[in-house]
Structure 1
Amino acid sequence: MRSQMAGVLFRRAMARSAVRVRYPDGRVTGTTGPILDVRRPEALLARLGAAGLIGFGEAYQAGDWDADDLVGLLTVLAGSMGTLIPPSLQWMRHVHGARAPRAERNTPDGSRRNIHRHYDLSNDLFALFLDESMSYSSALFDHPGEDFTTAQHRKIDRLLDRTGVTLGTRLLEIGTGWGELSIRAARRGARVVSVTLSAEQRDLALRRAAEAGVASRVEVRLQDYREIPPIAGGFDAIVSVEMVEAVGAAYWPVYAEAVARRLAPGGRVGLQMITMAHDRMRTTRSTYTWIHKYVFPGGLVPSVPAMEAVFGRAGLRVHDRLDFGLDYAETLRRWRATFTGRSAEVAALGFDATFARTWNFYLAYCEAGFAARYLDVSQLTLGRAA
Structure 2
Amino acid sequence: MRARLARLIVDRMLDQVPVRAIYPDGTVRGAGAADSPALQIVRPQAMFERLARSPKIGLGESYMAGDWTVADGTDLGELMTPFAARLTELIPPQLTRFRRVVDRRLPRRTRNTPAGSRDNISAHYDLSNELFAAFLDPSMSYSSALFEQVDEELETAQHRKVERILDLAGVGPGSRVLEVGAGWGTLAIAAARRGALVTGIGLAIEQVNLARKRAAEAGLTDRIDLRLEDYRSVTGTYDAIVSVEMIEAVGEEYWPTYFRALEGLLAPGGTIAIQAILMDHDRLLATRNSYGWIQKYIFPGGLIPSRTAIDQTVAAHTSLTVEEDFRFGPDYAETLRRWRHRFQANSAAVRAEGFDETFQRTWEFYLAYCEAGFASGYLDVAQLSLRRRS
The offset of 1:331, in angstroms, is 0.4
Distance 1:175 1:30 in 2: 43
Q: How does 1:341-356 map to 2 (within 5 A)?
A: 341-356=345-360
Distance 2:186 2:308 in 1: 29
Aligned residue identity for 1:286: N
Matched, 1:171 2:174: no
The offset of 1:54, in angstroms, is 0.4
Match of 2:4 in 1: 4
Structure 1 length normalisation: TM-score? 0.97
Distance 2:51 2:77 in 1: 20
Cα pair 2:188 2:224 within 8 Å, conserved = yes
Aligned residue identity for 1:73: L
Match of 2:384 in 1: 380
Cα pair 2:60 2:293 within 8 Å, conserved = yes
Match of 1:183 in 2: 189
Match of 1:44 in 2: 47
Distance 1:94 1:372 in 2: 26
Name the SS for the 1:82 alignment partner.
helix
Match of 2:141 in 1: 135
Aligned residue identity for 2:29: T
The offset of 1:31, in angstroms, is 4.1
The offset of 1:298, in angstroms, is 0.6
Which range is displaced more, 301-310 or 169-178?
301-310
Cα pair 1:270 1:381 within 8 Å, conserved = yes
Distance 2:2 2:122 in 1: 35
Matched, 1:69 2:72: no
Report how many residues are paired: 383
User: Which of the residues 275, 282, 290 maps onto 2:285?
Assistant: 282
Distance 2:76 2:345 in 1: 15
Which range is displaced more, 357-366 or 65-74?
65-74
CA shift digits 1:133-192 (9 cap, x unpaired):
100000011112112111111111111111111111110000011000000101111111
Cα pair 2:6 2:51 within 8 Å, conserved = yes
The offset of 1:98, in angstroms, is 1.7
Name the SS for the 1:215 alignment partner.
coil
Cα pair 1:16 1:83 within 8 Å, conserved = no
User: Which of the residues 369, 378, 386 maps onto 1:365?
Assistant: 369
The offset of 1:265, in angstroms, is 0.5
Cα pair 1:226 1:255 within 8 Å, conserved = yes
Match of 1:88 in 2: 94
Structure 2 length normalisation: TM-score? 0.96
Name the SS for the 2:54 alignment partner.
helix
Distance 1:8 1:241 in 2: 42
Structure 1: runs of 5+ lacking an equivalent: none
Superposed CA RMSD = 1.0
Cα pair 1:75 1:368 within 8 Å, conserved = yes
Match of 1:338 in 2: 342
Which range is displaced more, 371-380 or 95-104?
95-104
Aligned residue identity for 1:321: D
Distance 1:345 1:91 in 2: 46
Match of 2:16 in 1: 16
User: Which of the residues 292, 311, 314 maps onto 2:314?
Assistant: 311
Distance 1:20 1:142 in 2: 34
Distance 1:84 1:93 in 2: 14
Q: How does 1:171-250 map to 2 (within 5 A)?
A: 171-229=177-235, 231=236, 234-250=237-253
Aligned residue identity for 1:324: F
Distance 2:223 2:30 in 1: 60
Match of 1:150 in 2: 156
Name the SS for the 1:152 alignment partner.
helix
Q: Taking every aligned residue pair, what percent have the same amino acid on both sides?
A: 54
Distance 1:302 1:103 in 2: 20
Name the SS for the 2:178 alignment partner.
strand
Structure 1 residue runs of 4+, over 3 Å off? Answer: none
Match of 2:295 in 1: 292
Cα pair 2:11 2:30 within 8 Å, conserved = no
Cα pair 1:247 1:255 within 8 Å, conserved = yes
